[in-house]
């Protein structure tokens, strides 16, 4: 009697045929598009949609897709429809670089967006500069992207670590004190963050201690024991993503928040919502916040976004949104999509209110191509007026103040001939 195996249930030939059909589709697709006779403007986004940063990447994607629909409804860019092509960098630099090459070489995109992971963003910038393609980094934070490694074709929406740390340090010192303890992930971004804090803290005469921990550290007890012994005024949680959540949970479990203030630079909306109420605490920076009742453009945007995307936008959604609209604004002003022309126009370009979505004027600084928005400093707390009301703005620091002069960033912008 013949044994019933996988092969008898699903004969090989059937699977092979299915596989061939699938690959034929892939082969045919570029031909299908050109046959329709459209010439859309292609923007390629490379982001870690799988892996530990996926929640943040997804929000950026949501914002960008929302903008894509909005732009196309109003006639596109320079009269042509916009098409957002999405690739997953899987939080792997090799993949991110490969996908960037693919988008530029094969798909012939005009603009590249990405990556949340600043290491990948920097690697991508190497490729885009080599190929002279306009590149916007929506949410990768390491300073070098608009600092020592700045490039003429790269612009950044989110703040760099200097801006975030300089914005919040005076507030924390004023309210709680100058003796700090850092819990920082041991890689370039973490070092950059802690160095920024230390610089700002030292200016105010503070003292500090801390621990560098492995990026994916799961257990913080040893460090927290040390922190308790040090008795700081403020405990800074510089960990990112999932590890930041784990750290907050354990800090609160140890009851440390009763003896010292909690704080840090970024504590993203997506991350805050993943915590239980007792761990939603501390003083942090939001790079954009949805609850700005005094700015009518923001109120309208949030209402529309909630209706369409069925979620309240976070700073990451805003990054994706701004990136897409930046391309539109720049292209329309330059009347072209050529990399060098777009880059030239972008310098000191002020974004309209309905894109900037905040009270103050917002522009990309010419010297380092960093966007200078308002930095919202405030307190995270359990939901009050609604499930999304987890942050109260206490101070609004102009980004350009927190950033310091261009010379300090180490950026020497070299423009193409």
Partner 1 sequence: MLTSIIYNVANGLMLGAFYVLMALGLSLILNLSNVINFAHGNFLALGAYLALELSKVMGFWGALLIAPLLTALIGVLVELLMRFVYRRDPVYSLLLTFGLAFVMQGAMLWWWGPSPQAMEMPDILNAPISAELFFVNWYRIFTVVVVIATVIGVFAFLRHTRVGLRIRAGTLDLDTVSALGVNVKLLRTFNFTVGCLLAGLSGVLLTGKNGISPNMGDDYLMPSFIAIIVGGAGSLTGTLFGGLLIGITAAVTGAIYAPASEVVIFVMMILVLLTRPRGLMGEEGML
Partner 2 sequence: MSSVIAATASVQRSAQRRWLPVAVIWLALVTVPVWFPLLGGYNALAGSVLVFGLAAMGLNLLLGFTGVLSFGHAAYFGLGAYGAGLMLKYVAASTPLAMLAGTLFGGLAGTLFGLVIVRRRGVYFAMCTIAFGQIFYYIAYKWNDFTGGFDGLRGFHREPIGIGALTLDITDEQPFLFLSEGFRFYYFTLAMFTIAVVLMGLLVRSPFGRTLRAIRENERRARFLGIPVERHIWLSFSVSCFFTALAGTLYALLNNFADPLALHYTQSGYFVIMAVLGGMRSFWGPLLGAAVFWVLKDFLSSALPEEWMAFLGVIFVLAVLFFPRGMLGMLKRRSAE
Residues that bind partner 1 (CB under 8 A): 5-6, 49-52, 54-55, 57-58, 186, 211-214, 216-219, 221-226, 228-229, 241-242, 245-246, 249-250, 253-256, 270-271, 273-276, 278-279
Counting contacts by CB under 8 A, is residue 218 touching partner 2? no
Residue 26 vs 229, nearer CB to partner 2: 26
Least spacing, CB of residue 265 vs partner 1, in Å: 19
User: Contact between 6 and partner 2 (CB under 8 A)?
Assistant: yes
- Give the integer Cα–Cα distance in Å for 413 and 88: 30
The interface region with partner 2, picked from 6-14, 67-75, 281-289, 360-368 by CB under 8 A, is: 6-14
Could you tell me the CA-to-CA distances from 308 to 72, 77, 301, 317 in Å, in that order? 15, 22, 11, 13
Nearer to partner 2, 47 or 379 (CB): 47
Residue 93 near which of partner 2, partner 1, none (CB within 5-8 Å, type-dependent): partner 2
130 lies in the binding site for partner 2 (CB under 8 A)? yes
User: Cβ-count burial of 196 within 10 angstroms (0-12 exposed, 13-18 middle, 19+ buried)?
Assistant: buried
Indicate whether 12 belongs to the interface with partner 2 (CB under 8 A). Answer: yes
**Under the criterion CB under 8 A, does residue 50 sit at the interface with partner 2?**
yes
| Residues 238 and 265: beta-carbon distance below 8 Å | yes
Task: Specify the DSSP element, H or E, that contains 212.
Answer: strand 207-213
CB 61 within 8 A of CB 86: yes
Measure the CA–CA gap between 313 and 306, rounded to whole angstroms: 8
Question: Measured from the CB of residue 206, what is the shortest distance to partner 1 in angstroms?
Answer: 21
Binding residues for partner 2, how many (CB under 8 A)? 46
Q: How far is the CB of 270 from partner 2 (least distance, A)?
A: 15
CB 347 within 8 A of CB 181: no
Instruction: Report residue 320 as tokens.
Output: 């994706």
221 binds partner 2 (CB under 8 A): no
Q: Which does 401 bind (CB under 5 to 8 A by kind): partner 1, partner 2, none?
A: none
CA distance 197 to 208: 10
What is the number of residues in the chain? 417
* C-alpha–C-alpha distance, residues 231 and 258, integer Å: 12
Asked whether position 214 contacts partner 2 by CB under 8 A, the answer is yes
Query: What are the residues whose beta carbons fall under 8 Å from the beta carbon of 365, sequence distance 6 or more?
Result: 347, 348, 371, 372, 400, 403, 406
Contact status: 183 vs partner 2 (CB under 8 A): no
d(CA 398, CA 363): 11
- Applying CB under 8 A, the residues found at the interface with partner 2 are 6-7, 10, 12, 15, 23, 26-27, 29-30, 49-50, 54, 58, 86-88, 90, 92-95, 97-99, 101-102, 105-106, 117-120, 122-123, 126, 130-131, 142, 186-189, 191, 214-215
């Amino acid at each position: 009697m013949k044994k019933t195996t996988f092969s008898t249930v699903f004969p090989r030939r059937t699977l092979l045929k299915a596989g061939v059909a699938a690959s034929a589709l892939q082969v045919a697709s570029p031909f299908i598009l050109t046959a329709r006779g459209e010439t859309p403007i292609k923007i390629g986004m490379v982001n870690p949609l799988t892996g530990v940063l996926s929640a943040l990447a997804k929000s950026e994607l949501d914002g960008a897709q929302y903008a894509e629909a909005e732009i196309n409804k109003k006639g596109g860019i320079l009269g042509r429809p916009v098409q957002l092509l999405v690739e997953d960098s899987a939080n792997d630099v090799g993949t991110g670089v490969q996908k960037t090459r693919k988008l530029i070489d094969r798909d012939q995109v005009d603009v590249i967006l990405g990556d949340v992971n600043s290491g990948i963003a920097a690697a991508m910038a190497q490729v885009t500069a080599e190929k002279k393609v306009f590149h916007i980094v929506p949410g990768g934070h390491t300073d070098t992207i608009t600092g020592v490694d700045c490039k003429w074709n790269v612009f950044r929406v989110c703040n760099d670590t200097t801006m975030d740390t300089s914005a919040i340090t005076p507030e924390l010192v004023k309210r709680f004190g100058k003796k700090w303890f850092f819990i920082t992930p041991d890689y370039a971004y973490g070092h950059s963050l802690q160095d920024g804090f230390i610089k700002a803290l030292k200016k105010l005469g503070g003292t500090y201690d801390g621990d560098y921990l492995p990026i994916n550290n799961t257990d913080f007890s040893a460090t927290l024991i040390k922190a308790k012994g040090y008795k700081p005024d403020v405990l800074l949680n510089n960990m990112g993503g999932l590890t930041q959540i784990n750290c907050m949970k354990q800090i609160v479990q140890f009851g440390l928040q009763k003896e010292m203030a909690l704080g840090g630079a970024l504590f993203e909306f997506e991350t805050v919502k993943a915590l239980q109420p007792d761990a939603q605490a501390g003083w942090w920076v939001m790079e954009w916040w949805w609850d700005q009742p005094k700015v009518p453009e923001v109120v309208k945007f949030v209402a529309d976004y909630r209706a369409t995307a069925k979620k309240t936008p976070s700073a990451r959604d805003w990054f994706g949104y701004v990136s897409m609209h930046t391309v539109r604004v720049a292209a329309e002003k330059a009347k072209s999509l050529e990399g060098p022309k777009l880059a030239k126009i972008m310098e000191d370009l002020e974004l309209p209110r309905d894109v900037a979505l905040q009270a103050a004027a917002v522009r990309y600084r010419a010297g380092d191509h960093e966007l200078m928005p308002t930095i919202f400093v405030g307190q995270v707390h359990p939901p009050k007026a609604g499930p999304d009301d987890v942050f109260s703005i206490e101070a609004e620091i102009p980004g350009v103040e927190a950033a310091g002069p261009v010379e300090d960033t180490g950026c020497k912008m070299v423009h193409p001939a």
